[in-house]
Amino acid sequence: MPSLFSYGTLQQPSVQVANFGRELSGQPDTLQGYIIGEVEITDERVLRESGKAFHPILRYTGNAADEVQGTVFELTDAELAQADDYEVDDYVRVAAQLKSGAQCWIYAAADEV
């Protein structure tokens, strides 16, 4: 099963239920080499599901001292595709290694990849 590191709205139970039909269980972990920025959301569906006009977005720094706290969730392949559908074009899914050593997917700023 693929793992997904979430640092934003995919941690909200209401967003999980809207996208996956269930609440996810996960483990806390840390992503190094990134900081959190902000992106304005204009997609009506995402606005409705998240309840937020501004979402956090990962910005790559390459500096291991920069850390983002989040949660790692195990998803099915179908659920990962649903997460892709939820994320707006400002995000791109890329592979990453967490501080724990775990391999996972993250959604980072598309304009920096």
Count Cβ atoms below 10 Å from residue 100 Cβ, excluding itself.
11
Q: Where are the domains of the chain?
A: 3-112
Show Cβ contacts of residue 94 under 8 Å, excluding neighbours closer than 6 positions: 105, 106, 108, 113
Report pTM: 0.92
Mean pLDDT over 2-23 rounds to 96
Task: Give the CATH fold of the 3-112 domain.
Answer: Hypothetical upf0131 protein ytfp (3.10.490)
Q: At residue 113, does pLDDT exceed 70?
A: no
pLDDT of res. 41: 93
Q: Could you report the per-residue pLDDT of 61-103, keeping only the tens digit for each?
A: 999 999 999 999 999 999 999 999 999 999 999 999 999 999 9
DSSP state of 1: -
pLDDT of res. 112: 74
